[in-house]
Structure 1
Amino acid sequence: ILMMLDIPQERGMSHADIYYPNEDKECQFPLFNFLGPFRAEYMVVIYFIMFLSAVGITLGFFYRLATISFTITYWYIFLLDKTSWNNHSYLYGLIGFQLMFFDAHHYWSIDGLFRKKIRNSHVPLWNYALVRYQIFLVYFLAGLKKTEWDWVAGYSMDSLGDHWVFSPFRTFMTVEQITLILVHVCGLLFDLCIGFVLFFDCSRPIGIIFAVTFHLMNSQMFNIGMFPYTMLATVPIFFHNDWLRKFVNRYVPKFLYKEESLQYSSSCLYSKEEIKPEESKTQSLKSAIANATSVKNAPVKATFRHKVFAIFALLYLTEQAFLPYSHFITKGYNNWTNGLYGYSWDMMVHSWHTQHVKITFVDKKTNEPHYLRPTAWASAKRWSSHADMIVQYAQCIEGKLQEHGYDDVELHFDIWRSMNGRFNQRQIDPRIDLLSSDAKWSPFEDTSWLLPLLTNLSDWRTRMLQIENDLSSKDQNVLITFVADFPGLFLENYIPPDLNTTIEVLEGQIIVELISLKRNITLNVGQNITVPNGDYHNVYTVSSTPSCYMYVYLNQSDADIVHLWDRFYNLTDRLLNETIDRNRPLHSDKEEADLVRLSYEHVFEQLRNKTIHELLELPSDYTIHNKNESNINWTNIRLQFETSMNRSIVKRLDTKVKWHERNLRLFKSFMNKKKKQFLRCYQIVKLAFKSIIHQTDFIQLVEDEINNVEEESTTNTIVTEESPPQSSSKPSSSSKKSSSTSGKTKKKHTKK
């Protein structure tokens, strides 16, 4: 059932026409280079087959065929795009693969209605053991991966302590304590222990409470699709095999469900005592063994089929335990972390921040350098994290450049990343031509052009945090970037006109080249320099060891806008409180949330008719620092302020709305989202078959019949998170202009 909900969303069925547009616009990142997508209309059909297979598995209808077709289509789409890989998508594929060999259609299935031989027949115990083992590994190996120092010391998820799910704990714990103790230490203990706790009868009730709480919290903290709910659905796997039958027999009314006796199954292996005559069985054995009419299906000796499945189960168990630690074989997939992404179960252990990606190609005919946008032919950003995808992207770019007349080029990538709060540093050597023989890559050999993670600088993280806190306490508008670089390399950087920037050396020695001033300045530890804005500069590492330095940015323009926002917020909040006090006697029958909503409408009508200069009493010639009057879009600033205010009001309303009303609103929002996804799936499936049958252009059909259909404007909306409340009064000219601009932007985005 969860896969039926997941396929239109995370698997991408509802937007398959966008992912596979029938034009070679973007580069592909399949696991094997010979894999490629079909035309868009056929990809939609493949998604449709996968969805129907999920329905068939759920209902037990043509179960064996459904599991095979689901597994083939799922793994095909999964292997097509490595940029979307994650652990839970891999888990779904594994469970689908297991279901091909399981007898999960022996109970409450449509197949059982037509095949009396399998109806209510036993399911082999190894089916339960295999899926229990799989879920146990997800927990236990994730716990083993969390024994790394970065997780134990609290560097992996350093910002989760601020999340609202931990608000009850903030009454007696600091954010830092929540992050270290609850997120990291308790997360480690949970993953290591929960599999064992759920396995044993005496501890299972406690395990259920912790597992349900853990996964519900994850569903709120992380945007990981159906994974938390999938793990919730796997908790009953650890129960006794007959728990559902007992539950139904006890709580479902007899007129809705009639209990039928169990049957022996040829898939199982029985002892002679289990199939002996009914009168000689013990009472406990009678309750567990099937009726005597199916005894002919009860083998007492292992057949060839039993032996094959026993070998398969043992091989699968061994492979799943070995694969997450097979990094010494798949060396090409090792980088700062070991292993091919997607099957190592190192969930949330590493947090990444990509600071900068620069792609340079040099035309060998003219020796002239050119720069490419990193997302020119790849909208996904994950390619920059892995050597295999970097090589694939480089080869794809080579082909794209040939189409534009560049037949002989050099290609260089400069990728700066940070892992778990460390310095931003280079991930690959920017001097390597990725199209040359020096940029070899093999899945079974180390990648020589990858630069190592500077683990010797890991202890700097505590000092970096202290520096950041000290500077932020002096000025909240300060932004700090910590950089580490290798000897012999240099960083080319551009400072926007809005930023006042200084560079300070923390370790090593650097030379700062101010290009426009034609000056070179040498800096040692503790020294700093202000670099000119609106210009490029180069930072060379000249020490024999890696250099460490920090950029300190002060965006005066943002500071001015924040100051204006504070004035706008205080003004709006004061008017709102006054209006609420004035309206309360007049609307004593209204709930507090309705009163706030009504009062905000009145305030918004008052503010709408005034310009931002009038509201904030600004001089007519007021300008923002480092910006000319012609560059200031006051309409956009006004819209940003109103949007931020709307978000603030939504949060305020959430505190006034009763919890069941809030949950009902969230449920309705979820259902509306799913309704739109399923509706679009239905539309593109219909158009895909129409395109195949009539040999018409599928993408054009989608453009004509879906994308160009104007959406009906919603009415009766008062306050939403992104749009201001609608007033019945005639808007001012500035409001008309804003509305028109917003409409054009929305239409353009939809078309894109």
Structure 2
Amino acid sequence: MLRQFLFKKIDNAQLIVFRVFYGLLVSAECYGAIATGWVRRTLIEPQFTFSFIGFEWLQPLPGNGMYIYFAIMGTLGILITLGYKYRFSAFAFAIMWAGVYLMQKTSYNNHYYLLMLLAFIMAFLPAAKDFSIDAKLNPKSRSHTMFNWIRWIIILQLFIVYTYASVAKLYGDWLDFSIIEILMKSKKDYFLIGEILQQKWVHKIVGVFGIVFDLLIVPALLWKPTRKVGFIFSIFFHLFNSIVFQIGIFPYLSLAFIVFFFEPKTIRNIFLRTKSIPSQNAQSPPKNQNLIIIVLGIYFIVQLVLPLRHHAFKDDVLWTEEGHRLSWRMMLRSRSGTIRYKVVNTQTDSITNIKLNDYLTKKQRRKVACYPDFIWQFAQHLKKEYAKNGEDIQVFVQNKVKVNKGKYHEFIDPKIDLASVPWKHFSHNEWIRPSQKE
């Protein structure tokens, strides 16, 4: 039964059209990152880049190298759209995007993580079998069909993302709309809509709609009677996010995913201008069915478990941040903090108070003030910098943090030498102070 469902041959129009949208959007993201100054601010100007812990070796290219890096990624996006050397282009983009994702997290965004997953998924899919230069150059490779699992891997990934995003919103500060009020305060100066976004009734609509939309949109798009309504709501939801939160290509990528929910015949007629559905018998059953099922099973088990890992950590994830990333916990909290670093020379006992302005950009300073991994990483960076001059040091911090509308509380134990403690990936870091119940 499962094999029949997964390996049934279907029209590949959805995948072919999505490839075109996907390539155009990632190209726009990469060229846009150069044009808007994101590359300069995030990867060129900083003296020190906060990579994911364990990937410290992955650093931005020197000089203007990252401009070239992003230009190459943008060009790969064009090649993906055209379907030229597709497998190479898609894999090269996936690897390069993963590199950007892992080499910096000051501008972390859940959507960057989703794009990394999607990039590798697309690299494995036969998305250039039609309407591509590859198919034109090699007519024998042309196909109008694909296996059903290809469509469903995209749908299931989206279902996981949206469902976890909805469930994560079911907590006090979202349900009383206070976090939405905080998020909207920074939008007060927006032309025409700035004042409207400050209204309580708008906060309530955004709060309720955010939960309901994330929870129901995938089922609504799958069910034919509600598909068009779901599509209309999707347009409104994603355009609102694009205008208000300015999150790049991702609202439009989310709209592009919708091609997987409409009938292949409809997609083919609209975008490919071929009226007849091609024969479903052009593809022989794969010999590696068991391998495909095992790989898909492992992948989705990881995707289901990873967002739940914060429950295995001590204390509240909203306070500790442990297990927050890779969990589809989107726009759930606002953090702010104050911090002072004190360096103690172990040989002379001399004390130096660190001026963060000498090391970090404004955005990095905001992160260091209230995120534990940033705080720990900067302590490790100071240790390495002083070691270059033959100095052995201890690093202590005085740090207070508040979450959402809460009060400031001590976040890091000021008696712990952060230069000497290891980072724990899979258990609670005890030098993070317990959350205070208010």
User: TM-score when scaled to structure 2?
Assistant: 0.82
**Matched AA of 1:358:** R
- Out of 17, 26, 43, the residue aligned to residue 48 of structure 2 is 26
Q: Tell me the SS of whatever aligns to 2:340.
A: strand
Q: 1:429 Cα shift?
A: 1.3
Q: Indicate the residue corresponding to 2:178 in structure 1.
A: 155
Matched, 1:223 2:246: yes
Q: CA offsets, 1:105-125, max 9 Å, x none? A: 122111111121232421222
* Greater RCO, CA 8 A, separation 6+: 2
- List aligned pairs for 1:150-229, cutoff 5 A: 150-159=173-182, 160=184, 175-179=199-203, 181-229=204-252
- List aligned pairs for 1:178-327, cutoff 5 A: 178-179=202-203, 181-248=204-271, 259=274, 287=277, 289-290=279-280, 298-299=283-284, 302-327=285-310
Distance in structure 1 (CA, Å) of the matches to 2:145 and 2:195: 47
Q: Is the 8 A contact 1:324 1:339 kept in 2?
A: no
- List aligned pairs for 1:108-507, cutoff 5 A: 108-159=131-182, 160=184, 175-179=199-203, 181-248=204-271, 259=274, 287=277, 289-290=279-280, 298-299=283-284, 302-327=285-310, 336=319, 339-354=322-337, 356-379=338-361, 380-381=364-365, 382-403=367-388, 405=389, 407-436=391-420, 439-454=421-436, 456-457=437-438
Distance in structure 2 (CA, Å) of the matches to 1:13 and 1:331: 40
Q: Is the 8 A contact 1:7 1:13 kept in 2?
A: no
Kindly, what percent of the aligned residue pairs are identical?
25
Structure of larger gyration radius: 1
Q: Is the 8 A contact 1:333 1:340 kept in 2?
A: no
Q: Tell me the SS of whatever aligns to 1:423.
A: coil
Q: Is the 8 A contact 2:179 2:332 kept in 1?
A: yes
Q: CA offsets, 1:35-86, max 9 Å, x none? A: 2334446545443432222111111111111111111111112111122321
Q: Tell me the SS of whatever aligns to 2:177.
A: coil
Change (3 A) 1:24 1:190: closer
Q: Tell me the SS of whatever aligns to 1:392.
A: helix
Change (3 A) 1:144 1:337: farther
Distance in structure 1 (CA, Å) of the matches to 2:220 and 2:38: 41
Task: Point out the more displaced range, 150-159 or 192-201.
Answer: 150-159
Q: Tell me the SS of whatever aligns to 2:427.
A: coil
Root-mean-square deviation over aligned CA pairs? 3.2
Distance in structure 1 (CA, Å) of the matches to 2:42 and 2:166: 35
Change (3 A) 1:24 1:169: closer
Unpaired segments ≥5 residues, structure 2 = 1-23
Distance in structure 2 (CA, Å) of the matches to 1:151 and 1:391: 29
Q: 1:169 Cα shift?
A: 11
Q: 1:420 Cα shift?
A: 1.6
Q: Tell me the SS of whatever aligns to 2:145.
A: coil
Distance in structure 2 (CA, Å) of the matches to 1:36 and 1:93: 16
**Matched AA of 1:26:** F
**Matched AA of 1:344:** S
Q: Tell me the SS of whatever aligns to 1:319.
A: helix
Q: Is the 8 A contact 2:144 2:279 kept in 1?
A: no
Q: 1:410 Cα shift?
A: 2.6
Distance in structure 2 (CA, Å) of the matches to 1:196 and 1:98: 22
Distance in structure 2 (CA, Å) of the matches to 1:422 and 1:383: 19
Aligned residues: 408
Q: CA offsets, 1:258-299, max 9 Å, x none? A: x497xxxxxxxxxxxxxxxxxxxxxxxxx5525xxxx6x532
Q: Tell me the SS of whatever aligns to 1:103.
A: coil
Q: Indicate the residue corresponding to 1:529 in structure 2.
A: none
Change (3 A) 1:11 1:310: farther
**Matched AA of 1:325:** L
Distance in structure 1 (CA, Å) of the matches to 2:53 and 2:346: 31
Q: Is the 8 A contact 2:310 2:322 kept in 1?
A: yes
Q: 1:140 Cα shift?
A: 1.4
Change (3 A) 1:28 1:13: farther
- List aligned pairs for 1:45-124, cutoff 5 A: 45-124=68-147
Q: 1:352 Cα shift?
A: 1.7
Q: CA offsets, 1:6-59, max 9 Å, x none? A: 1134489967577666x9942543432452334446545443432222111111
Distance in structure 2 (CA, Å) of the matches to 1:153 and 1:126: 40
**Matched AA of 2:57:** L
Distance in structure 1 (CA, Å) of the matches to 2:315 and 2:119: 28
Q: 1:332 Cα shift?
A: 11
Distance in structure 2 (CA, Å) of the matches to 1:31 and 1:174: 38
Q: Is the 8 A contact 2:58 2:102 kept in 1?
A: no
Q: Is the 8 A contact 2:49 2:103 kept in 1?
A: no
Q: Tell me the SS of whatever aligns to 1:123.
A: strand
User: TM-score when scaled to structure 1?
Assistant: 0.50
Q: Is the 8 A contact 1:112 1:118 kept in 2?
A: yes
**Matched AA of 1:204:** R
Q: Is the 8 A contact 1:3 1:54 kept in 2?
A: yes
Q: Indicate the residue corresponding to 2:31 in structure 1.
A: 8
Q: Tell me the SS of whatever aligns to 2:264.
A: coil
Q: Is the 8 A contact 1:165 1:217 kept in 2?
A: no
Q: 1:375 Cα shift?
A: 3.8
Q: CA offsets, 1:536-577, max 9 Å, x none? A: xxxxxxxxxxxxxxxxxxxxxxxxxxxxxxxxxxxxxxxxxx
Change (3 A) 1:342 1:11: farther
Q: CA offsets, 1:95-149, max 9 Å, x none? A: 1010111111122111111121232421222111111112222221100111122
Q: Is the 8 A contact 2:259 2:267 kept in 1?
A: no
- List aligned pairs for 1:489-568, cutoff 5 A: none
Unpaired segments ≥5 residues, structure 1 = 253-258, 262-286, 458-752
Distance in structure 1 (CA, Å) of the matches to 2:200 and 2:415: 41
Change (3 A) 1:65 1:237: same
Change (3 A) 1:92 1:332: farther
Change (3 A) 1:233 1:387: same
Distance in structure 2 (CA, Å) of the matches to 1:187 and 1:433: 42
Q: Is the 8 A contact 2:33 2:39 kept in 1?
A: no
